[in-house]
Amino acid sequence: MTTTTPAIRTEDLVKNFGDTPAVRGVSLEVPTGVVLGLLGPNGAGKTTTVRMLATLTRPDGGRALVHGYDTVKQSREVRSLIGMTGQYAAVDEDISGWENLYLVGRLLNMGRRQARTQAEAMLERFGLTEAGGRPVRGYSGGMRRRLDLAASLLGDPKVLFLDEPTTGLDPHSRNALWAEVRALAGNGTTVLLTTQYMEEAEALADSVMVIDHGEVIASGTSQELRERIGGPVLRIAPERPDDLAAVRRALLTAGLGAARADEEESVVSLPLGGTGAELTAAVRVLGDAGIPLARVDTRVPSLDEVFLTLTGTAPAVLPADAADTSADPEGTAVPADSLAERSARTSADHEITRSAA
């Protein structure tokens, strides 16, 4: 095996569930030590893609390789290289955290003593030493997630699949998990994580791949994705909102044809090319026209706007306050206020995107 073999590679991967195409020809490549964020709305095919890579679902077409090993023909080799935490924490409720880890260690062919030592070390690493003796049933959502991640790291995997690792976590637990993922990546672990959160992809991923309806619709660094939807936008606010039309007219007359007036925000926006020539021209034209201005600024589209533009769906919003997930057996509930916020943002983001387009 040469060092240039990518840690993760899929070639035209396809999966259908009956008549439902879940994954429609996904090709991706993740070099060793890189964190790839697989981003997409509900039902995009994220979990299905990860499950095929993790040998849990058999592809209908194409193939998936981990360090060059085929997930179907060489599933045993693949399994020895990977760790996986699913979208729903896969821990046994009825036994303690320690027992969960011990059993996974034994399943990985560790001896009794090694499994015991490793279980204790993991509990310590994930701040679960105190809770380690109690049944998992009484754990909060965040504790289950940490235990799940600990279990997936027991075999010291070279490649880690994390399916929506922070969904349902409060900000404190999320930050702790992000720190852990960064540390793993820093140590050379290759990570493929799925998320519905732009912010999470930007915080953790070296590169981002956006999928929707089972297809890759964009990929690159988060910066590249931003640039794809048009780069910075110049926004001009006249002193008198009544002058909006005059501002727009003056810009159009000067040949700056992409100017749009946004009545609600009382600004005229103009996409800027790479040179900044439009900026100089716009300010000069408006000075010549004698229209008093209150404010001129430029803004770069947010990743949320990129996501919306690409998928037509607003991205999920990270919970801003500590949500209590302890009552949720799967630790994956989205707090109701976050859903409300999400739908509120959908219309707001549409507004921004339209005026920026």
Chain positions contacting Mg ion, by CB under 5 A: 46-47, 87
Residue choice 40, 141, 331, 335 for contact with ligand ATP (CB under 6 A):
40
Q: Are the CB atoms for 28 and 8 separated by under 8 Å?
A: yes
**Interface with ligand ATP, residue 47, by CB under 6 A:** yes
Count the alpha carbons within 13 Å of 222 in the hemisphere toward its beta carbon: 22
Residue 166 or 355: the one with the smaller Cβ distance to Mg ion is: 166
Cα angle 343, 272, 218; round to 5:
50
**Interface with ligand ATP, residue 226, by CB under 6 A:** no
Residue list 253-282, contact with ligand ATP (CB under 6 A): none
Residue choice 140, 196, 207, 311 for contact with ligand ATP (CB under 6 A):
196
Which range binds ligand ATP by CB under 6 A, 42-50, 105-113, 235-243, 298-306? 42-50
Which range binds ligand ATP by CB under 6 A, 45-53, 74-82, 96-104, 270-278? 45-53
Q: In angstroms, give the least distance from the CB of 10 to Mg ion.
A: 16
Q: Are the CB atoms for 24 and 7 separated by under 8 Å?
A: no
The interface partner of residue 40, options being ligand ATP, Mg ion, none and the CB cut-off 5 to 8 Å by kind, is ligand ATP
**Interface with ligand ATP, residue 85, by CB under 6 A:** no
Count of chain residues binding ligand ATP (CB under 6 A) = 13
Residue 22 or 250: the one with the smaller Cβ distance to Mg ion is: 22
Residue 44 or 89: the one with the smaller Cβ distance to ligand ATP is: 44
Residue list 287-306, contact with ligand ATP (CB under 6 A): none
Which range binds ligand ATP by CB under 6 A, 17-25, 120-128, 149-157, 232-240? 17-25
Which range binds ligand ATP by CB under 6 A, 5-13, 16-24, 66-74, 99-107? 16-24
Residue choice 10, 48, 85, 269 for contact with ligand ATP (CB under 6 A):
48
Indicate if the alpha-carbon torsion angle 57, 61, 66, 70 is positive or negative.
positive
Residue choice 8, 13, 22, 204 for contact with ligand ATP (CB under 6 A):
22
Q: Which DSSP letter does residue 193 get?
A: E
Residue 51 or 146: the one with the smaller Cβ distance to ligand ATP is: 51
**Interface with ligand ATP, residue 17, by CB under 6 A:** yes
Alpha helix segments (H runs only) across the chain: 46-53, 75-81, 97-107, 112-125, 141-153, 171-186, 198-204, 222-228, 244-253, 277-289, 303-311, 336-356
Number of H helices, E strands in the chain: 12, 14
Which residue type sits at 65?
Answer: L
Q: What is the CA radius of gyration of the chain?
A: 24
* Sheet arrangement for strand 35-39: 82-85, 159-163, 190-195, 35-39, 207-212, 215-220
**Interface with ligand ATP, residue 87, by CB under 6 A:** yes
Q: In angstroms, give the least distance from the CB of 150 to ligand ATP.
A: 22
> Quick one: tokens of 104?
């996974």
Q: What is the dihedral of CA 217, 220, 224, 225, to 10 degrees?
A: 30
Residue choice 6, 25, 43, 68 for contact with ligand ATP (CB under 6 A):
43
Residue 204 or 286: the one with the smaller Cβ distance to ligand ATP is: 204
Of 201, 225, 190, the residue nearest 310 (C-alpha): 225
> Quick one: tokens of 168?
């349902």
